[in-house]
Amino acid sequence: MALLDPKVIHPITLPDGTVYRDTVYLKNVIDHPRMEIGDYSYYTHSGKPEDTASTLAPFLGHGVRERLVIGKFVQIARGSYFITSSANHPMEGFTTYPFRIFKPETFGYKDLPVKDTVVGHDVWIGQNAAIMPGVHIGSGAIVAAASVVTREVPPYAVVGGNPAGVIRMRYGDDVIAQLLQLAWWDWSLEKIEANLEALTTGDMGRLRDAAD
């Protein structure tokens, strides 16, 4: 039997057979026109599954212009969330007070610039992290708990702090380039599970052999 079932809402079953209901596969609980979510990406929170979108990205209304794009196999811990572009206040004048949101005909600040927020594949976002508008997080990156991510995160970087900075790179440039080229997250589930040992032990030789 496969370890992962892409169709379930709650992907974790504890050793005693109890389904752990705080963790949800995002793709199976979110139906939002401005969110794109890859397979097997999960989020842990204490709310109802139908509240997941508003908990994860509270300012991403259905009528906004920006998108939140989350790749495959992303792991998002409890308390983490995305502040998307529509949360911004105007900053060009002498006040940041959002006067125009108080009238329906001027609501939305459609003249303010917006940027999509993009999370790559196999990214781990630790507990209580905040991802700011327009940030791009590269595949394989790790965001430390309680970080505030304000700028682009390179693939396979470990970042932390407020504002988050690069603590270290997980691998050297050559290995990172190979991992991005292999893109194991695009393999079939059967192929991924057949090569879990290579993936989880960092055996590049076996991983390359599996890709051939």
Q: What is the pLDDT of residues 58-117, one digit of tens each?
A: 999 877 889 999 999 999 999 999 999 988 888 889 999 989 889 888 776 677 778 999
Tell me what pLDDT residue 105 has: 83
Q: How confident is the model at residue 1 (pLDDT cuts 50, 70, 90)?
A: low
Residue 189 pLDDT greater than 90, yes or no: yes
Whether omega before 163 lies within 30 degrees of 0, making that bond cis, reads yes
Which 3 state secondary structure label does DSSP give 119?
strand
Contact 175, 161 (CB under 8 A): no
User: Catalytic residues, which ones?
Assistant: 89
Contact 70, 36 (CB under 8 A): yes
Could you tell me the pTM of the whole model? Answer: 0.94
Q: What is the mean pLDDT of residues 120-136?
A: 98
Q: How confident is the model at residue 3 (pLDDT cuts 50, 70, 90)?
A: confident
Tell me what pLDDT residue 184 has: 98
Q: What is the mean pLDDT of the chain?
A: 94
Distance from C-alpha of 173 to C-alpha of 86, rounded to nearest angstrom:
35
Domain ranges of the chain: 23-170, 173-212
Q: What is the mean pLDDT of residues 151-164?
A: 98
Distance from C-alpha of 182 to C-alpha of 50, rounded to nearest angstrom:
35
Contact 96, 89 (CB under 8 A): yes
Tell me what pLDDT residue 62 has: 76
Tell me what pLDDT residue 109 has: 66
**C-alpha dihedral sign at 83, 85, 87, 93:** positive
For the domain made up of 23-170, the CATH class stated in words is: mainly beta
Tokens of 5: 């079932």
Residue 142 — left, alpha, or beta (φ > 0 → left; ψ -120 to 50 → alpha)?
Answer: beta
Cα separation values, 89 from 99, 100, 112, 113, Å: 10, 10, 9, 11
Buried b (16+ CB within 10 A) or exposed e, 158-180: bbbeeebeeeebebeeeebeebe
Which 3 state secondary structure label does DSSP give 141?
coil
Share of the chain above pLDDT 90, in %: 84
Longest dimension (CA), the chain: 62
Highest average pLDDT, of 19-33, 50-64, 80-94, comes from: 19-33
Q: What is the pLDDT of residues 136-156, one digit of tens each?
A: 999 999 999 999 999 999 999
Contact 27, 77 (CB under 8 A): no
Residue 122 has what DSSP assignment? S
